Chains A and B, each alone.
Chain A
Amino acid sequence: MSNEKNNAVANYAIALGDDALVIGQRLAEWCSHGPFLEEDLALSNVALDFIGRARMFYQYAAKVEGRGRSEDDIAYFRDAREYTNLMIFELPIGDFAFTMVRQLMLDVYSLAFLEQLQQSNDQQLSAIADKAVKEARYHLRRSAEWVIRLGDGTAESKQRAQAALDEVWGFTHELFEVHDSEVTLIEQGIAVDRAQLKSQWDSKINQVLSQATLTRPEDDWSTNGGRDGLHTEHLGQLLSELQFMQRAYPGMKW
């Protein structure tokens, strides 16, 4: 592979790793704060799945870029402006309804994305997708059931689920906007054309929302810029917690 192509693939893997690490860290915030013990464990398991996925992407990026960085260097020694996750991943956990509604948006997207990434010409990306797609199916099963339970539940759970949906909705559009850095990789059959995932996402989301008796919001606002390193104010706070130990004691191991 040429240097230019190597860099493009490494940056692509880092962006996918950022998506996974940031949501993994968010879900981990529920650890010991879950609504009850069983759900606490289940949420932490999902968090660990995402952190494991981030590691696979970062390890591959570190190898491809060949700059001597490790997966930990990539995770712990970049600032918010260098993180290229899409913004929906970094939003605070909010209440349990927000966590689950956002998770539904992401799980439907991730499953469709990973099924496409399995077809990638890049063998390593395709192998990572093979591994991750199994847990993604389970994540979606969980979040869909929860959104239906909350939406079609009590008056309060329905109101909270609808409020969460209204709040997160504008952040979902970015999931399907192809970034400039991905165009060539898509042509080479390496990256996933995210714009192509939208109709599949729509039909699954509509199906769950109708079962949950929730109202699909209007598409009247949206955000973008995550892949350019533009973020909400929440990412910096997340990273300060995530990175504190390695920043205070660089290279520390335990």
Chain B
Amino acid sequence: MNQSLLPLFEVFVRSKRGLDHKHVGSLHAEEHAQALEYARDCYTRRSEGVSLWVVKSSDIVSSQEEDAESFYDPMNDKPYRHATHYILPDEVDNM
């Protein structure tokens, strides 16, 4: 089987309830159901997660390098927009 013919999928794992799904890598598979199974075998064998997402890489729309100036630079001098700007009580574990 020629692997280059298989579509690429991006894999997201939720490591525990209450947390977000995080991108962990990508893999090749025939279709979504198989991608989910391979994600189980490649990324969650050591109890890394409680939930999996797989998304076709070609379905992801990403920003481009030339967008950086208008997309991200204006935020650099506005630290109060960051949650890290505020001091959190110790009781809040995951933010």
Contacts and interface: CB of A to CB of B under 8 A. Distances in A.
Contacts of B34: 145
A141 B40 CA distance: 13
B3 A36 contact: yes
B6 interface: yes
Contacts of B40: 138
Most chain A beta carbons < 10 A, residue from B37, B40, B41: B41
Contacts of A145: 33-34, 37
Q: Which size bracket describes the interface of B in this complex?
A: 10 to 19
Interface stretch (B22-30, B58-66, B67-75): B22-30
Given A45-B41, A45-B45, A38 B33 contact: no
Given A45-B45, A149-B30, A35 B1 contact: yes
Interface string A131-149: 0000000100110010001
A248 to B, nearest CB: 32
Contact of A142 (B30, B37, B42, B45): B37
A245 interface: no
A45 B37 CA distance: 12
Interface residues of A, number: 13
B38 interface: yes
Given A145-B33, A149-B30, A38 B45 contact: no
Interface of B: 1, 3, 6, 27-30, 33-34, 37-38, 40-42, 45
Given A36-B6, A42-B38, A149-B30, 7 more contacts: A38-B28, A38-B38, A138-B37, A141-B37, A145-B33, A145-B34, A145-B37
